[in-house]
A and B are shown apart, each in its own frame.
Chain A
Amino acid sequence: MNLIRTELRKIIHYPTFWTIMAIYVLLQVLLIYFSSNLMVSGQSLGKSLYDFPNIWMRFSYIAYFFNLLLGILLIVLITDEYSFRTLRQQVIDGRSRAEAVLAKFYVTLGLAAAGTVFLLAMGLLFGLIYSTNTSIEAIFSKIDYLSYFFVQAVGYMCLAMFFAFLIRKSGLAIIAFLAWSKIVEPIIHYQMDDRIDRFMPMKVFGSLTPTPGQELIDGLTSPTMALSPGWAVLPALVYIALLVFGSILLVRLRDL
């Protein structure tokens, strides 16, 4: 509890934090609002995008892209502690290194929870306005996609956390995080058998929020080997645990 309270003290008066959160909310609202104009197979998705219960799957897929922003925010928060030398001071003052990492893991959980609640609010708002079916059953039948999104957001931020503790400089850590998630790992995927690469971290995290209409695409081409969201949860949790443990190890083994 003490750790969480301290992290809140640091965040609450930090303009950079609120700026990035504002960008996160604003961009996501814009994308959600305008994605109904998207053209798929020559016809506009239209307001059917907001139909319960598939809205949860679609919105969590949209939110998936913004996990990068949450990751960058976490990198900023962690590398700040190095450039202000406050991580060092806190270890001098009585924190253990593991506690320093755990504190940031709690921030990760908090941010993922905030992102999930935001998604829930957006889903209810757009769904209740535009959905043709607003029965309780329709609203809640696929709401489990929100929990998959939560796990995914935690996973992305834990990867960002690992790079932040590894590199300690904000610019380089952000580049490494983006390069790994968007370039390096996708290249590795190409070189590997689909049955194996579906267990790679970014692929596992991605599988938690499948592309809407994947069934349609599968009908046209060969079916994807990707894990179903339910099956991806376990390997995702394993990766999260490894990344947290790896971060603790990094901080333990090096000088501050």
Chain B
Amino acid sequence: MATVLYLDELSKNYGSLKAVDRLSLEVEAGSIYGLLGPNGSGKTTTLGMVLDVIRPSNGSFLWFGRSISKETKLRVGALLETPNFYPYLTAKANLQVVADTKQANHRHINKMLDMVGLGTRSHTTFKGFSLGMKQRLALAAAMLNDPEVLVLDEPTNGLDPQGIAEVRDLITRIAAQGKTILLASHLLDEVEKVCTHVAVLQSGKLKANGPVGNILSAKDQLLISAEELPPVLQLLERLPYVVQFAQEKSYISLTLSEGYTSTDLNRDMFAQGIVLSQILVRRKSLEAQFLEITQK
């Protein structure tokens, strides 16, 4: 697979604050790469640097294997932080300005407006738009010259549930055309639902990265209880497939290694004469996993 974007020890310092700290990443063609992290973790700063509007303090990055230039910029459509348009111009006039810059065919403007559902509002000025419409106009602008790569910074930020669903649907449709998408988000379920790869950022540092399945694999958690807990605890210590367990009030929570289920546990308990009064399978929340990753 060809590498679309390569970051090598990219850093940005604001005084003594390290907004991004020696970040190295590789985004492969065709992937939907999520940049996940809480607010202020350096996602926007990272995207700002690779988009040529923030000067890196250190390190370097390559687009399509070469340094950034007009030619590489035209292959990337990007939406950074907020939709940026002239408030007094209509949607169409704003896209004309963008089309000039991107050397895009002006005939695509109406087509893109239709695609994001703004076809009937093309003569409304930008300042009259709702937040969701502004966001969709920004997506239309980003895709105006049919770029190979889309960089989207918090594309669903501030949208209502319907707007979120629409934007996500749009992203999946775009990705289905074989485009590479780099998506920054602080929403775990967004990244899990949409992305193929993820990098977790915290305080500007890379905490984990890889395919979403590996990083955010939701291992099942079991909750069990019995009349007498001490014998259960003793047995759990001897069972090889129990990864970890902990007593919490009247029950015990535990996780099993891959390939084992609650059935195995129940059978082994019964074989030792222990009758469990309750077995509950609970999917471990993404939030809990995220906290686990960031607290490593």
Given A84-B86, A86-B85, is A93 in contact with B53 using a C-beta cutoff of 8 Å?
no
Contacts of A15 in B (CB 8 A): 88
Interface-forming stretch among A4-12, A116-124, A158-166, A239-247?
A4-12
Name the contact of B53 in the complex, choosing from A6, A10, A91, A94 (C-beta under 8 A).
Answer: A91
Determine which residue in B48, B54, B85, B100 has the highest number of CB atoms from chain A within 10 A of its CB, and name it. Answer: B100
Which of B75-112 touch A at CB < 8 Å?
78, 80-82, 84-90, 93, 96-98, 100-103
How far does the alpha carbon of A10 sit from the alpha carbon of B89 in the complex, in Å? 8
How many angstroms from the CA of A95 to the CA of B81 in the assembled complex? 19
Which of the listed residues A84, A96, A254 has the most CB atoms from chain B within 10 Å of its own CB? A84
Interface contact A13-B89, CB-CB below 8 Å: yes
Residues of B within 8 A of A (CB-CB), count: 29
Asked whether, in the complex, the Cβ of A256 is within 8 Å of the Cβ of B53, the reply is yes
CB distance from A116 to the nearest CB of B (A): 27
Does residue B254 face the partner (Cβ distance < 8 Å to A)? Answer: no
Please judge, given known A-B contacts A84-B86, A93-B73, A256-B53, whether A13 and B80 are in contact too, CB under 8 Å.
no
A141 at the interface (CB under 8 A from B): no
Which of A15, A80, A89, A96 has most B Cβ within 10 Å?
A: A89
Residue of B nearest to A5 (CB): B100
Q: Which of A13, A94, A256 contacts B101 (CB 8 A)?
A: A94
Interface residues of B in 95-139 (CB under 8 A from A): 96-98, 100-103
Task: Find B86's partner among A2, A86, A93 (CB 8 Å cutoff).
Answer: A86
A253 to B70, CA, bound (A): 18
Q: Is the CB of A92 within 8 A of B80?
A: yes
B74 within 8 A of A: yes
Cα A93 to Cα B98 with chains together (Å): 8
CA distance A91 to B80 in the complex (A): 12
Contact between chains at B100 and A2 (CB < 8 Å): yes
Contacts of A254 in B (CB 8 A): 55
Q: Report if B264 contacts A (CB, 8 A).
A: no
Q: How far is the CA of A91 from the CA of B73 in the complex (A)?
A: 9
What's the least CB distance linking A79 to chain B, in Å?
13
Expressed in whole angstroms, the minimum distance between the Cβ of A129 and any Cβ of chain B is 39
Residues of A within 8 A of B100 (CB): 2, 5-6, 9
> Chain A, 201-214, contact with B by CB distance < 8 Å: what is the 0/1 string?
00000000000000
A85 proximal to B (CB < 8 A): yes
A90 to B74, CA, bound (A): 11
Contact between A94 and B73, CB atoms less than 8 A apart: yes
Distance (whole angstroms) from the CB of A95 to the closest CB of chain B: 6
In the bound complex, CA of A80 to CA of B88 (Å)? 11
Of A85, A89, A93, A95, the most chain B CB neighbours within 10 A belong to A93
Instruction: Decide yes or no whether B274 CB sits under 8 A from chain A.
Output: no
Q: With a CB–CB cut-off of 8 A, which chain A residues contact B89?
A: 9-10, 13
A140 at the interface (CB under 8 A from B): no
- What is the CA–CA distance of A33 and B164 in the complex, to the nearest angstrom? 61
Q: Pick the residue among A5, A6, A84, A96 that contacts B85 (CB under 8 A).
A: A84
Cβ of A256: which chain B residues have Cβ within 8 Å of it?
Answer: 53-54
Contact string, B46-72, partner A, CB cutoff 8 A, digits 1/0? 001001111100000000000000100
10 contacts between A and B (CB under 8 A): A9-B89, A9-B93, A9-B100, A13-B93, A84-B85, A86-B85, A86-B97, A92-B53, A93-B102, A94-B102
Interface residues of A (CB under 8 A from B): 2, 5-6, 9-10, 13-15, 80, 84-86, 88-96, 253-256
Question: Which residues does B use to contact A, with CB under 8 Å?
Answer: 48, 51-55, 70, 73-74, 78, 80-82, 84-90, 93, 96-98, 100-103, 141
4 closest A-B pairs (Cβ-Cβ)? A89-B84, A85-B84, A94-B73, A256-B53
Known: A9-B97, A93-B141, A255-B53. 9 other contacts (CB 8 A): A9-B93, A10-B86, A13-B89, A86-B86, A89-B85, A92-B78, A93-B73, A93-B101, A96-B70
